[in-house]
Amino acid sequence: MDATCEPQSYVFKYILQSTTTNDTEMSLYTLFKKSSTLATITLAIVFGHLAACSGSDSDKTETEALRDTIVSLRQRGKNMRNQSRFDEALRLHSEGLNLAKAIGDTAEWIQALNNIGTDYRRMGIYDVAQEYHYNAYRMCEESTDTAYVMRKNRVVSLNGLGNIYLSIRSYERADSAFRLALAGEHALGSNTGQAINYANLGAIYNARGDDEKALQYYRKSMELNRADSNDLGIALCHTYFGNIYEKHRRYDKALHEYSEAYRIMEASKDN
């Protein structure tokens, strides 16, 4: 057999990273049984090598097939998380993490770490979530890659850490993380990203009881969400306003804000 037709090591690396048993035969059986992803990957590699034997670039074909699988896992995991199916989200994101490690794709590796961190945070398991987000942030800091995706990964890591600190009422650490994330989003030119972090800073002031300061940050968030025509962000800001007005028993204004939020979300469902 020509050397270009010999099996590559990616799938083997994935198998080794996905199992704790030394019985390779049983490992393969177990993984194929529980992971449709592995079956998909193997088929992709088989077809990739068939193409390679016909004269194609085998490494490129195989790596591109695996990257497509990683992207699919990432999106499917997010969909599961949005449906509160956290176990499924974790399984998919963990498979994506193992694949990203196997092919040495640092950007996807970090995205997987952040997604797993978010999965655990949504489940309320903050110590584990913090570990994943911190590892993602550390990898970003150690990388010399200045591409948009890597810079965005760093911001997402900081935002994840900030949300954890906010949830456990570590407000100073949350404030620091969100301000770093805000600066990162500003450098990236992302209105929606900045809006998210202004709202997060507003949430800190709201939690501390400084409602006037909270309103200032929520208004800045609203301004940026409107600049991006971000209906979800706009609706959320109306909800934040309503919450503060309700606290101060300004029920007419609170009702107006809640009604606006409801109207926007209902309209977005029809689109």
- The reported pLDDT for the residue numbered 41 is 54
* pLDDT score recorded for residue 26: 46
Quick check: 235 and 264 in contact, CB under 8 A? yes
Q: Is the separation of the CB atoms in 207 and 225 below 8 Å?
A: no
pLDDT number for residue 259: 97
Distance CA 227, CA 191 (A): 7
| pLDDT computed for residue 11 by the predictor | 54
Q: Answer for the pair 114, 157: CB distance below 8 angstroms, yes or no.
A: yes
Residue 58 and residue 52 in contact, taking contact as beta carbons nearer than 8 Å: yes
Residue 150 CB-density burial (10 A; 0-12 exposed, 13-18 middle, 19+ buried): middle
C-alpha 219, offset from chain centre: 26
| Of residues 168, 136, 171, the one with CA closest to residue 151 | 136
Q: Are 178 and 159 in contact (CB under 8 A)?
A: yes
pLDDT for the residue 171: 98
pLDDT at 57: 57
**Tokens standing for 185?**
């989003």
Regarding pTM above 0.85, the answer is no
DSSP designation for 3: G
Residue pLDDT tens, the chain, 271 long: 444 444 445 555 555 555 544 544 444 445 444 555 555 555 455 444 444 454 455 556 778 888 999 999 999 999 999 999 999 999 999 999 999 999 999 999 999 999 999 999 999 999 999 999 999 999 999 999 999 999 999 999 999 999 999 999 999 999 999 999 999 999 999 999 999 999 999 999 999 999 999 999 999 999 999 999 999 999 999 999 999 999 999 999 999 999 999 999 998 875 5
180 contacts 150 by C-beta, under 8 angstroms = no
